Chain A
C-alpha cells in the first residue's frame, strides 16, 4: 500500500482557488446586471422622470448609454467593474466609489466590531454548551441561542435604545459621533476609531466608542446566536471522534483533551461558518444602520432605493457582490492554512 497523499503547498491551493473565484464573480455580476434591467423603461427615466423635461432626459440617457443594445451595455458594465468605475449617482451626482469608501468605512467599522462580539458570544456559549451536553447549562445556552436568533436585530436595537439609552442613559441613541466630535475630528480613513487614535484624541475615541457600543453589540449578538448552534454541534461531533478516546487512553488530562483536541478541532469548520455569516452580517448591518441612524453603506442603499437611483443601486450591489467573493476566497485560504487536509 502506498503512502498517504502529500500535502500541496498553500500557494498552489491559493492559485487554484483564485481561478475558481472568477466564474462566481462573473455570475454574480451578470445577475446584478440583469436584475436591474428587468424593470420596464430605463433607469434615468425611472429616477428623474417627472423632474426633467424630455429633451434633457434624452440627453442624460444618451450620456449614460442607455440607448444602446443590452449586449453592449453588458460589456461596458463589465469593463467598468474591472476598472472600478461605478459611475455617478443620478440624484446627487456623487461618484459611487466615493459613496463606497466613505459610507463603506462606517459599515466596516460596525461590522468588524460586531463580528468580534459575535465570535466571543457564539464560540463561548457554543463550546460550553457542547462540553456540558444535556445539563441545565447546555439547555440554557441553546435556549439563549434560539431566542437571540428569533429576535430581529431592529427589535433588539429598539430594546437597547429603550433601556440603555433612554432609561439608563449610558449610551447615545444614534449616530457615529456627537456633533462636536464630528466637526473636530480629521477623518483620513473614515474609520473613526482609527482616526481618533491617529490624532491621539482620546476624548474623541471614547465618544466614538460609546456610539459604537449599542449598534455593534446588537448586531454582534444576533449574528452570534447563529454561531452558538453550529459550534455546539461541532463540539458534540468532535467529542465522538476516535482520536478523542485515543487521547484519553494515553492518560492525557481531561483539560488537555478538551482544549487541544476537542475544542481546537471543533473550531476549524468555524472559519467556514464565519465566512458564510459575512453575508448575513451585511444584511444585518443594513438593518442596524437604519435602527441606529448609522451612516453606513446600507442606509445609503436604502436611500437610493427609495429614490430609484439605479446607477447607485447597481454600483453598491456590485460592490457587495465583489466583497462576498473576496471574503469567501479569504476564508477558504484561511481554512487551508489551518487544516492541512483541505489543500488538494
Chain B
C-alpha cells in the first residue's frame, strides 16, 4: 500500500546567483512497511527532497508537482496543515544529533512538549509511560529520563531523537543521514533499530544517505540520485548486482573493500545545480556518453532487469535520432576543473 508518492516533483531554491534546481522532476513511491534508500553524493538534492516532504524548506524556495500523502498533495499544503502532519504522520530524523536537542531542556521535557502538542488528551502519567517505552525501545534507561542532552554521547542522542520521533507513531519516517556523524559501532545499532521498525510497526522508511553500504544492508528498494534527478530506482539487490545507470555502476566501482587494489574515481565534480549540464546531467563525466546524451533529455524507461532508469543506453530507441548513438567527443576533464 502506497504511503507516499511523488510525481514530477520540483524544488528550486532562490539565491543571489539565480535558481538552484535542487530537486528537478523526480518521481517515486514508498509503501507501508518498506525501506527505500535514497543515495547520492553531497549536494545532489537528497536532503532537500527529504525536507520538502515535511514542508521544511527555507524562504525563497519554490515547490511544484505532485507529492501525495494520504490523499493530500503536500506541494499545496499550508504551514498550519503541515504542522498537523509533522510528528504524528511523518517523522524526520536529522543528521547531527549533537545539536538537535534543546540544551536547556531535560529529555523528559522534550517528550512532554511533543506529546502534549499532538495528543492533548493524554494524562501526565500516560505521557510518562509512553516516553519511557519509546526510550526503552532505544536502550535508554528510565533513570536517565530527567537528564540534560549534554550528558549523553552522540550515539545516545541520536537514539533519543529517534525515540522522540517514534513516540508519535508516524506512518512514514524520513532519516536524513542518520549515522553519518556517528562511528561504525553506533551506526550498526541505529541501523538495527531502524530495521526493527518495519517488523514491529509497519512504518515506511525513507533512508537518505551517501553510504552505499548501509543501503545494501537495510533497504529493500533504492533510488539513486544525481544532480537533482533520480537516475535509477528499483530493488536494492538488483540495482547493486546489475546496475543499469552508468553513475550507479561507477559509484559501486568506487567502493573500497579489502579486495581493492587500485583507487577508482569518477572524474570531474558534481555539477552546479544552478547551472546543470544540458540534456543528461551525467554526460560530462559518463564513460559511455553518446551524442544524444548531450542533445536530448533522457526519458525514463524500465531496464530489462526491472528497475526504472533514466539513461539513453536503455532507450527508448524510437526517440534517439540517427547518429545519436555515436560516442560523444569531449575534452579530457582536467582534475583541476573542480568547481
Direct touching of A and B (C-beta under 8 Å): yes
Instruction: Knowing A250-B165, A251-B87, A252-B117 are in contact, say whether A242-B151 is a contact too (CB < 8 A).
Output: no
Contact check: which of B56, B102, B164, B186 meets A261 at CB < 8 Å? B102
Can you report 9 residue pairs joining A to B where beta carbons are below 8 Å apart? A6-B151, A7-B148, A241-B99, A242-B96, A246-B100, A250-B86, A250-B114, A251-B82, A256-B113
Chain A residues near B164: list those with CB within 8 A: 250
- Cβ–Cβ < 8 Å partners of A256 in chain B: 113, 117
A243 to B155, CA, bound (A): 17
Q: Are A242 and B148 in contact (CB under 8 A)?
A: no
Separation of A3 and B99 alpha carbons in the complex (Å): 16
Q: Does B252 contact A (CB under 8 A)?
A: no
Q: Would you call B83 an interface residue if the criterion is a C-beta within 8 Å of the partner chain's C-beta atoms?
A: yes
B54 CB–A CB distance under 8 Å:
yes
- Alpha-carbon separation in the docked complex, A341 to B148 (Å): 9
From known contacts A246-B101, A251-B117, infer whether A1 and B186 are also in contact, taking CB-CB under 8 Å.
yes
List 6 other contacts, CB 8 Å, given A6-B151, A246-B94, A249-B54.
Answer: A1-B153, A241-B99, A243-B99, A245-B56, A248-B56, A252-B114
A317-342 to B contact mask, C-beta < 8 Å, 1/0: 00000000000000000000011110
Q: What's the least CB distance linking B158 to chain A, in Å?
A: 12
- Mark contacts of A231-260 with chain B using CB atoms, 8 A cut-off: 1 yes-contact digit, 0 otherwise: 000000000011101111111111010001
Contact B118 A4 (CB under 8 A): no
Contact A341 B83 (CB under 8 A): no
- In the complex, whether B321 has a CB less than 8 A from a CB of chain A is no
Contacts of B82 in A (CB 8 A): 251
Residue from A4, A241, A250 whose CB has the most chain B CB atoms within 10 Å: A250
B243 contact set on A, CB distance < 8 A: none
Assess whether B84 is interfacial by the CB under 8 Å rule: yes
Give chain B interface residues in 16-38, CB to chain A under 8 Å: none
Contacting pair A339 B104 (CB below 8 A): yes
User: Looking across the interface, which residue of chain B has its beta carbon closest to that of A253?
Assistant: B83
Q: Could you tell me which residues of chain B, from 93 to 117, have a CB within 8 Å of some CB in chain A?
A: 94, 96, 99-105, 113-114, 117
| Per-position binary interface string of chain A over residues 1-34, scored 1 when its CB falls under 8 Å from any chain B CB and 0 otherwise | 1111111000000000000000000000000000
Contacts of B3 in A (CB 8 A): none
Residues A3 and B104 in contact in the complex (CB < 8 Å), given A250-B165, A251-B83, A252-B113: no
Q: Are B150 and A264 in contact (CB under 8 A)?
A: no
A307 contacts the other chain (CB 8 A): no
**1/0 per position for B146-177, CB-CB distance to A under 8 A?**
01111111111000010011001000000000
Shortest CB-to-CB span from A154 to chain B, Å, is 40
What's the nearest-Cβ distance from chain A to residue B164, in Å? 7
Most chain B Cβ neighbours within 10 Å, of A4, A261, A264: A4
B153 touches A4 (CB 8 A): yes
Q: How far, in whole Å, are A340 and B147 apart by their CA atoms in the complex? A: 10
Interface centre among A6, A264, A340 (most CB of B within 10 A): A340
Would you give the shortest CB distance from B167 to chain A, in whole angstroms? 10
Q: Report yes or no: A340 in contact with B150, Cβ–Cβ below 8 A.
A: yes
Q: Which 10 A-B pairs have the closest CB atoms?
A: A251-B86, A251-B87, A242-B99, A246-B100, A249-B92, A4-B151, A243-B102, A251-B83, A1-B153, A250-B87
B290 within 8 A of A: no
Q: Is the CB of B84 within 8 A of A251?
A: yes
A268 within 8 A of B: yes
Q: Tell me how far the C-beta of A65 lies from the nearest C-beta in chain B, rounded to whole angstroms.
A: 53
Residues of B within 8 A of A241 (CB): 99
| Chain A minimum-CB-distance residue to B98 | A242
Taking a contact as CB atoms under 8 Å apart, the answer to whether B148 and A340 are in contact is yes
Residue of B nearest to A241 (CB): B99
Contact A249 to B86, CB < 8 A, known contacts A1-B186, A242-B94, A256-B113:
yes
- Are the CB atoms of B151 and A5 closer together than 8 Å? yes
Q: Which of B56, B101, B113, B154 is the one whose CB lies under 8 Å from A249?
A: B56
Interface residues of B in 67-85 (CB under 8 A from A): 79, 82-85
Q: Is the CB of B118 within 8 A of A251?
A: yes
Are A251 and B85 within 8 A (Cβ)? yes
Interface residues of B in 112-145 (CB under 8 A from A): 113-114, 117-118
Cβ contacts under 8 Å, B54 to chain A = 249
Chain B contacts for A251, CB-based, 8 A: 82-88, 117-118
**Which of B88, B113, B165 has the most A CB atoms < 10 Å from its CB?**
B113
* B96 and A260 within 8 A (CB): no
| A7-B113 contact in complex given A243-B99, A243-B101, A253-B83, C-beta closer than 8 Å | no
Q: Please, which residues of chain A bring their CB within 8 A of the CB of B87?
A: 249-251
Q: Is B262 interfacial (CB 8 A cutoff)?
A: no
Check B161–A246 contact: CB distance below 8 A.
yes
Given contacts A245-B56, A251-B118, A261-B102, contact A3 B113 (CB under 8 A): no
With contact pairs A246-B161, A264-B104 given, residues A3 and B151 touching in the complex (Cβ less than 8 Å)? yes
Is residue B183 contacting chain A, with contact meaning CB distance below 8 A?
yes
Q: Which residues of A contact B161 (CB under 8 A)?
A: 246
- Closest Cβ–Cβ distance, residue A21 to chain B (whole Å): 26
- Residues from chain A with Cβ under 8 Å of B114 in the complex: 250, 252
Write out, one digit per residue, whether chain A residues 156-188 have a CB within 8 A of any chain B CB (1) or not (0): 000000000000000000000000000000000
Q: Name the CB-closest residue of B to A248.
A: B56
Q: Is the beta-carbon distance between A2 and B104 smaller than 8 angstroms?
A: no
